[in-house]
Amino acid sequence: MPRSLLAAALLACLAPLHAAPASTDLTSADLTSADLTRTDLTTVSERSGFVRTGRFEEVIALCSAFAKAYPDAVRCVDFGTTPEGRPMKALIVSRSGALTPEAVRAKGLPVLLVQGGIHAGEIDGKDAGFLALRELLDGKQDKGALEKQVLVFVPVFNIDGHERFGAWNRPNQRGPEQMGWRTTAQNYNLNRDYAKADTPEMQAMLRLVEAWDPIAYIDLHVTDGAKFQQDVAIQVEPVHAGDEALKAAGKTFRDTVIDEVKKQGALPVAFYPSFVENDNPESGFIDGVSPPRFSTGYFQLRNRFGMLVETHSWRDYPHRVKTTHDVVLSVIRQIAAHGQDWMKIAQAADARSLAGQPVPLDYAASDKVRTIDFLGYAYTRTHSDISGGLMTHYDETKPQVWHIPLRDDVQPGHMATAPKAGYIVPAAHAAWVGEKLKVHGIKFDTLDHALAKRDVQVFRATNTKFAGNSVEGHQRLNLEGQWAPETRDVGAGALFVPIAQPKARLVMALLEPQAPDALAAWGEFNNAFEQKEYMEAYVAEDVAREMLKDPKVKAEFEAKLKDDAFAKDPDARLAFFARKHASWDERFNLYPVMRVDAAP
């Protein structure tokens, strides 16, 4: 269907509930409070036939206008400030009479948080969300749904990125005419920041989440990738990961939304459609569980649902906005119907003890493969005289069913046994680690007295691998090693982080050194794995000759010399003796967080 006809079709099926102005050539710069009165809460996008999207001043104006138009059902709140000084806006929406966290808790209502524009070039969620919100408030869609829940709508998360506006910010995306930028003003990718929470924006979002405790967090995106007919991916966790009792509810949640949007004409899939081999459809797809730097990997650690919605970038903007709109309304229906039951399951998960239990740190698809039918287009793969490699060319005039492999048997990967009592963070690291824990709402106590000769478990790295490049401003670190019992002194001012708390899975994700998005993995403890004191070679030579007078040391050294690589490495040979000397730094490669079996 030509784009102009598709836009017309969308306007017909999503007709504004109030009269639009005679002219549709307004830009966001024209939008004032007077305009909002005239246009009755329609967006620049809607008035343009879903060709354009508005600037952030439109969000500010609409947030206030919705609250003014529906004073009994909408609050407009600021929940943070961006690095460039812009207010972070959320609309709190309910027909229940509960518009504060305290009132929500008193009534036991489920909360849904819908977030647009974490990648601000992928802005479908903002325009679809405002449209769905107006329809709900006017009772034209799902009448009664807002009486059974509270909706927290964040139209744009990455606001500074949103205002980096341009026509080619997403060169492989069809519309809108101009859009924002993927990253923040500080060049952070917010959808890599949930666990480490470096950015002011993410810290504000996590405070909002902690205040409202949504049973579900919906993250609205547009995917990159190849050209195919499938137009939206909808993923939910817990399904493969997280608390066992929540998995069944998560699967029902996901599958019901997929079925409902399919009935509205969408072509959804339940996995992220990125080829195993870049640009090669025959390589198929792999499903999995995102690590907690991403929203869907993060919220399952809080025993709450995370949904990732990815419309397809090669579908045009009217189609994508309609699909996103339909997903949002379906989600709202599910929360109205099942939200309170899901809250009970989640609260039971919060109360369940992980102490001493095996807990997955990550997940991966097994080698089990099945063939699926995937709606694509005819294509050729030919040598490119530009890149010098194989290039795939798609013919969108020739729809085709691809029969391609999918690996979706997702299984736990690395496992860790939860400590019986919790973790101890020494006083030297207590301040900054404590701030990280606070922003996630993790409980901890500060020890007001020293503990002498405490039985603890420590993690000593047997191998360290620092990343050769910077990732999100960090030098990541991969650690090999294991926990082992030791007796150590614990100074006053240390933190005790109990495992007996609702966010126990998140505690482990941050403090287990081999978890993919642990503080250690993001390089926050790199100093502990850098050798700062050493012995000069000529000193080590003298030390070695003295040590070799001990028959046990001599025998051990001679045994090591049978290893050819060791024998040919002068530094390794001298390090053998340095490690046995009294001057050796016993804290080198010692992860500066301990585990304990009994609370201090």
Domains of the chain, by residue range, sit at 61-350, 365-412, 417-531+588-596, 537-578
Q: Which two tokens stand for residue 146?
A: 């807002």
> What pLDDT, on a 0 to 100 scale, did the predictor assign at position 380?
97
Distance, CA of 91 to CA of 115 (rounded, Å): 11
List of residues 6+ apart from 363 with CB closer than 8 A = 240, 241, 288, 289, 410, 411, 412, 413
Q: Which two tokens stand for residue 512?
A: 């287990």
Helix axes 570-578, 551-560, angle to 10 degrees: 150
Distance, CA of 430 to CA of 426 (rounded, Å): 6
- Is the Cβ–Cβ distance between 424 and 593 less than 8 Å? yes
Low-confidence ranges of the chain (pLDDT < 50): 1-38
DSSP assignments along 504-567, one per residue: HHHHHHHHSTTSTT-TTTTTTTGGGGS------HHHHHHHHHHHTTSHHHHHHHHHHTTSHHHH
> What pLDDT, on a 0 to 100 scale, did the predictor assign at position 552?
95
3-state SS assignment for residue 40:
coil
Q: Which of 116, 104, 106 has the alpha carbon at shortest distance from 59?
A: 116
List of residues 6+ apart from 293 with CB closer than 8 A = 191, 192, 193, 194, 195, 196, 516, 517
Distance, CA of 547 to CA of 553 (rounded, Å): 7
Query: Residue for token digits 């390589």?
Result: 283
Give all strands (DSSP E) within 159-228, no chain letters: 216-223
3-state SS assignment for residue 234:
strand
Q: Which two tokens stand for residue 69?
A: 């138009």
Distance, CA of 167 to CA of 191 (rounded, Å): 23
Residues facing 486 on adjacent strands: 456
> What pLDDT, on a 0 to 100 scale, did the predictor assign at position 579?
87
Query: Residue for token digits 């995306």?
Result: 173
Distance, CA of 546 to CA of 557 (rounded, Å): 13
> What pLDDT, on a 0 to 100 scale, did the predictor assign at position 229?
98
The overall longest dimension of the chain from CA atoms, in Å, is 98
Query: Residue for token digits 């709202």?
Result: 332
Q: Which two tokens stand for residue 398?
A: 């020739």
Q: Which two tokens stand for residue 555?
A: 């025998």
- The strand pair at 358-360 and 415-417 is best described as antiparallel
> What pLDDT, on a 0 to 100 scale, did the predictor assign at position 224?
85
CATH code reported for the domain at 61-350: 3.40.630.10
Q: Which of 137, 156, 157 has the alpha carbon at shortest distance from 147?
A: 137
- The strand pair at 216-223 and 111-115 is best described as parallel
- Is the Cβ–Cβ distance between 19 and 40 less than 8 Å? yes
> DSSP H helical segments within 164-288, as ranges?
200-212, 244-263
Distance, CA of 508 to CA of 435 (rounded, Å): 16
> What pLDDT, on a 0 to 100 scale, did the predictor assign at position 213?
98
- Is the Cβ–Cβ distance between 473 and 198 less than 8 Å? yes
3-state SS assignment for residue 331:
helix
